[in-house]
Amino acid sequence: MSMDVLERLANHIADGETEEALAAVEEALASGLSALEVLDKGGTQGMDIVNERYDSGDAFLPELVVSGDTMTEVVQLIFSKFSAEEMAKNKIGTVVIGQATGDVHDIGKNVVAALLAVNGFEIHNLGIDVPVKKFITEAEDKKADIIACSTLLTTSLPYMEDITKYLNDSGTRDKYFVILGGGPVTPEFAQKIGADGWARNAFDAVALCRKLVKEFKAGSGDFQVVDQEAQN
């Protein structure tokens, strides 16, 4: 039954069926499945299905957008199930997260934010097309441990570098871990521009954030890569 509802959730997301997807989320959580299982085996699996359809020419940009909107609703519903008290109880650290300047694609970033939230991180989601300075001012205001920036556009890569440059120039590089992700972002690029870490996907991002706050010092040069896919 558990796997059946997750399979249905994945297919509803892939087909952009929002009401049915939200009902499947409620059913999955009521059956005792964890938020992580629902996001992983239902949510991200659904996006994998539609991405595969897109790559094979069986789906086009409008279908991707509709599926993305459904996934965003799913993430928001799961996120709403956790009270501020529950999240604060096991708090590991604080993260400001946003899409790099010029990028308006935020599905993957929202999944990362949701996973971090249910894994003990206080999340401040800055949204899309975030100016470089806003990452810094919000990190200061929220007393963040981590600045997380993502992009799917190569044209937004220079703005990622501007984040680390701004921190270096202002003498605050050692206050925040900077982690990067997204399709065109490679670990080599992230290390070159002075970030603290890179993760391949949303689940790796959670592991990376945990590792950084527990074992390392921001801006120390101890660059970390979490890529569980490569290890398998």
**Contact 199/205 with Cβ under 8 angstroms?**
yes
User: Which band of pLDDT confidence, cut at 50, 70 and 90, is reported for residue 48?
Assistant: confident
* Domain termination residue (choose one: 28, 63, 80): 80
pLDDT in tens, 105-143: 887 888 888 888 878 899 999 999 999 999 999 999 999
Q: How many domains does the chain have?
A: 2
Q: Are residues 222 and 110 in the same domain?
A: yes
Res 146: pLDDT: 98
CA dist 49 and 55 (Å) reads 10
Q: Are residues 125 and 207 in the same domain?
A: yes
Q: Are residues 218 and 170 in the same domain?
A: yes
Element (H, E) at 138: helix 132-142
pTM: 0.82
Residue of 205, 227, 203 lying closest to 95 (CA atoms): 205
Helix (H, G, I), strand (E, B) or coil at 152: coil
Q: Are residues 170 and 73 in the same domain?
A: no
Q: Are residues 18 and 69 in the same domain?
A: yes
Res 76: pLDDT: 84
Return left, alpha or beta for 94; rule: phi > 0 is left, psi -120 to 50 is alpha, else beta.
beta
Res 2: pLDDT: 64
CA dist 24 and 5 (Å) reads 6
* Domain termination residue (choose one: 48, 80, 112): 80
CATH of the domain at 36: 1.10.1240.10
Q: Are residues 106 and 47 in the same domain?
A: no
Res 22: pLDDT: 96
Q: Are residues 173 and 149 in the same domain?
A: yes
Token pair, residue 117, equals: 């939230």
Between the CA atoms of 37, 43, 46 and 52, what dihedral angle is there, to the nearest 10 degrees? Answer: -90
Domain extent, residue 226, equals 85-231
- 232 pLDDT above the threshold of 80: no
**Contact 139/86 with Cβ under 8 angstroms?**
no
CA dist 6 and 164 (Å) reads 40
* Domain termination residue (choose one: 20, 47, 80): 80
pLDDT over 70 for what percent of the chain? 95
Residue of 150, 211, 200 lying closest to 44 (CA atoms): 200
Res 91: pLDDT: 87
**Contact 152/112 with Cβ under 8 angstroms?**
no
- 45 pLDDT above the threshold of 60: yes
What radius of gyration do the chain's Cα atoms show?
Answer: 17
Q: Residue 80, exposed/middle/buried by CB under 10 A (0-12, 13-18, 19+)?
A: exposed
**Contact 182/190 with Cβ under 8 angstroms?**
no
CA dist 137 and 141 (Å) reads 6
Q: Are residues 100 and 203 in the same domain?
A: yes
Residue of 61, 55, 57, 24 lying closest to 41 (CA atoms): 24
CA dist 90 and 69 (Å) reads 30
